[in-house]
Amino acid sequence: MAIDFGALGPEIALAVTALVVLAADLSLRGPAKQLVNPVAAAGTVVAIALTLRLWGDERSTFGGTFVIDSLALTFKLLFLGTLLAVLGISWRFFAEGRYFQGEYYFLIVTAFLGMVLMPSARDLLTLFVALETVSIPAFVMVGLRKRDLYSSEASLKFFLIGVLSVAIMLLGMSLVYGFTGTTSLTGIAEAIAATQTPGSETPLLLAAVLLIVVGFGFKVSAVPFHFWAPDTYAGAPMPVTAMLAVASKAAGFVGLTLVAFAAFAPLAGAWAPVLGVVALATMTVGNLGALQQRDVVRLLAYSSVAQAGYILLPFGVARGGTDALSLAVNQTAFRAVLLYLVAYAVMNIGAFAVVIGVARRSGLRATADYAGLGARSPLLGGAMTVFLLSLGGAPLTVGLWAKFAIVEALTVDVTAFGLVLAAGLVVNSVIAFFYYLRLIRGIWMEAPAEGAPVPQPGFNLSLVVVGLAALTVVLGVLPALVTDTTSVVTLALGR
Amino acid sequence: MTAIPIGAHLILAALIFTVGLVGVLIRRNLIVLFMCVELMLNAVNLTLVAASRIWGAADGQVFTFFIIVVAAAEVVVGLAILVNLFFRRGTVDVDVPSLLRS
């Protein structure tokens, strides 16, 4: 069996980049160490080029456990683009903060290697390894500020929750293997369809499926497994928080999509309502939590819990049947998830970039410190306004279309449960607007505090902020730029 | 030699997993918490190997090796975090009031 190394191009590029970064860090001294950032960025650009070269291909290698298709490539591009943005907002932050820079860039490239591997995985084993390649570097990165008790505790909390969730997910995987005799996702779907009659499935199998779903629930910080998120996000270095809130969460959703729609599609009648209820609880808890926050990072952390709830909504209407309508429902649900993840990456990394820009040199991160930001720094104030409006789902931003896609997915086939979920989305969007607009009002209408410093974001960060703000608005006006791509991504998983 | 029935393996694995899970929930010493998580992972390994014997295929055993390797990597990272926290705080008890209690 020959290995298709061409299909592995992006992964190989990232793995080589990670090692080069580590070696470069060893040979550089003092301030020159910050040059590992452009090295990592160059490696990412190579990986993007290799991904684009594969565009349109349908390949598989390692006995079908690693697949290149439209779904895998789209997510790979999303992750690699996110990596570039995260590197952009990391440079000054880590160069000025006396961090272990080389180690950080090595770890972040390794974590993204796991994410890039994830959408190609079509086997429980590959999925598990990809997930851990994301998680283990993330545990270290959260605790990177190792002389800071806050960062260490955040890291420990994240670690304990992380390994516990993996143990629970593995128990589910081992039971599923016991039932089906295969770890291939399509093999599992075929075995389940062949042995289980809808409506009277083996209870232990359903329990195993729910264990796996719970494991991913931790990763995407869904209620009731969200409590680690605000503490970990607040304690971690800010670029790491941006990575966790966006990329790590997106990786969790990719994994959830793969197991839910590929392996356990025949059992959707059992897991879909559970995920629907979890989605409702997640967005409500996230938004109500965000209302009370006085720290911007914690506010964005709770907001990202709420956003995870929105992304989970389409899973709630998934169908188990194989008729045309069920397939259409699942397909629309999947595309809504994909579109929302793209929009979420653009607007949330942007928001974190502004927070880093404001905190640079001053360390200010309370919501009160954003009073009069628009007057002090029109660039950061204006960009933050765009990102917050988009997170809320205002017109002329990409956030509106993302929410629109979710409502569309919920109403492909009008059901009572789908309407309840859609109503939950609308009510929660209103709650969310309250705290987003409160922050925006502070930025533009309140006078800055006496002696409030003028933020100096630096060149890279300004570039990322302007780029992402422009992307938020352009995609808000011309959503077809991204939906033309997402609407051809199909859920035909390895069949 | 009579073979032990598969069900016995699975019941043993379920018991070990439960012991680990209960330990994580009630114990307060971080090192004991790590040991309990390891118990849970090893229960999973036992389930996989038993299932592998049912199907007469090696997939489950291969999976087990991956879990062992990944668990080792996790413990390395976890103990590093723990040692670092011990130097900052002087205790490995999770109940000690912390900065992050929200």
Q: Does residue B34 lie in a domain region? A: yes
Mean pLDDT computed over every residue of chain B = 85
Instruction: Among A149, A157, A235, select the one facing B88 at the smallest CB separation.
Output: A149
- Which chain B residue lies closest to A137 (C-alpha atoms)? B77
pLDDT at A59: 84
pLDDT at A80: 94
Handedness of CA B24, B28, B30, B35 (dihedral sign): negative
Confidence of residue B97 (pLDDT cuts 50, 70, 90): low
Q: Is the pLDDT of residue B85 over 70?
A: yes
pLDDT at A481: 75
Chain B contact residues (CB < 8 Å to A): 10, 17, 20, 24, 30, 33, 37, 40-41, 43-44, 47-48, 50-52, 54-55, 57, 59-60, 62-63, 66-67, 70, 73-74, 77-78, 80-82, 84-85, 88-89, 98-100, 102
The domain ranges of chain A are: 264-495
pLDDT at A234: 86
* Tokens coding A156: 């420990």
Q: Is the pLDDT of residue A52 over 50?
A: yes
CB A255 within 8 A of CB A133: no
3-class DSSP string for chain A: CCCCCCCCHHHHHHHHHHHHHHHHHHHCCHHHHHHHHHHHHHHHHHHHHHHHHCCCCCEEECCCCEEECHHHHHHHHHHHHHHHHHHHHHHHHHHHCCCCHHHHHHHHHHHHHHHHHHHHECEHHHHHHHHHHHHHHHHHHHCCCCCCHHHHHHHHHHHHHHHHHHHHHHHHHHHHHHHHCCCEHHHHHHHHHHHCCCCCCCHHHHHHHHHHHHHHHHHCCCCCCCCHHHHHHHHCCHHHHHHHHHHHHHHHHHHHHHHHHHHCHHHHHHHHHHHHHHHHHHHHHHHHHHHCCCEHHHHHHHHHHHHHHHHHHHHHHCCCCCCHHHHHHHHHHHHHHHHHHHHHHHHHHHHHHHHHHHHCCCCCCEHHHHCCHHHHCHHHHHHHHHHHHHHHCCCCCHHHHHHHHHHHHHCCCCCHHHHHHHHHHHHHHHHHHHHHHHHHHHHHHCCCCCCCCCCCCCHHHHHHHHHHHHHHHHHHHCCHHHHHHHCCCCCCCCC
Q: What is the pLDDT of residues A101-116, one digit of tens each?
A: 888 899 999 999 999 9
Residue of B53, B79, B81, B92 best to disrupt the A interface, most CBs of A under 10 A: B81
Dist. CA A173–CA B52, nearest whole Å: 13
Q: Report which listed range, A11-20, A289-298, A358-367, is most confident.
A: A11-20
Cα A20 to the chain's mean position, in Å?
Answer: 26
pLDDT at A494: 41
CB A158 within 8 A of CB A138: yes
CB A307 within 8 A of CB A286: yes
Q: CATH code at B78?
A: 1.10.287.3510
Instruction: Give the CA-trace dihedral at A52, A53, A57, A61, to 10 degrees.
Output: -100
pLDDT at A495: 41
In single-letter form, the type of residue at position A266 comes to P
Lowest mean pLDDT among A82-91, A362-371, A398-407, B36-45: A362-371
pLDDT (average), residues A312-332:
83
Which among A65, A59, A81 has a CA at the least distance from the CA of A6?
Answer: A59
Asked if residue A224 has a cis previous peptide bond (ω within 30° of 0), the answer is yes
Contact check, Cβ <8 Å, B20/A167? yes
CB A90 within 8 A of CB A239: yes
Residues of B in contact with A124 (CB under 8 A): 63
Dist. CA A448–CA A450, nearest whole Å: 6
Q: How far lies A304's CA from each of A88, A116, A285, A392, B72, in Å?
A: 21, 22, 11, 11, 31
Q: In angstroms, what separates the C-alpha of A161 from chain B's closest C-alpha?
A: 10
Dist. CA A259–CA A267, nearest whole Å: 11
Instruction: Given the cut 0.95, state whether the ipTM is greater than it.
Output: no
pLDDT at B96: 64
Lowest mean pLDDT among A90-99, A210-219, A252-261: A90-99
Confidence of residue A171 (pLDDT cuts 50, 70, 90): very high
Lowest mean pLDDT among A11-15, A225-229, A341-345, B17-21: A225-229
The number of beta carbons lying within 10 Å of the beta carbon of residue A446 is 15
CB A220 within 8 A of CB A260: no
Which among A129, A43, A37, A77 has a CA at the least distance from the CA of A489?
Answer: A77
pLDDT at A493: 53
In single-letter form, the type of residue at position A290 comes to A
Q: How many CB pairs (< 8 A) connect A and B?
A: 110
Q: Does residue B4 lie in a domain region? A: no
pLDDT (average), residues A121-140:
92
Quote the domain boundaries for residue B37: 28-89
* Tokens coding A437: 């607009």
pLDDT at A371: 81
Q: What is the DSSP letter of B29?
A: B
Q: Is the pLDDT of residue A476 over 90?
A: no
Dist. CA A37–CA A105, nearest whole Å: 7
Q: Give the rounded percent of residues in chain A with a pLDDT score beyond 70.
A: 98
pTM equals: 0.92
What is the total count of domains within chain B? 1
pLDDT at A54: 86
Mean pLDDT computed over every residue of chain A = 86
Q: Does residue B17 lie in a domain region? A: no
pLDDT (average), residues A301-321:
88
Dist. CA A492–CA A473, nearest whole Å: 32
Cα A206 to the chain's mean position, in Å?
Answer: 27
Q: Is the pLDDT of residue B99 over 60?
A: no
Indicate the length of chain A as a whole number: 495
Q: In angstroms, what separates the C-alpha of B81 from chain A's closest C-alpha?
A: 6
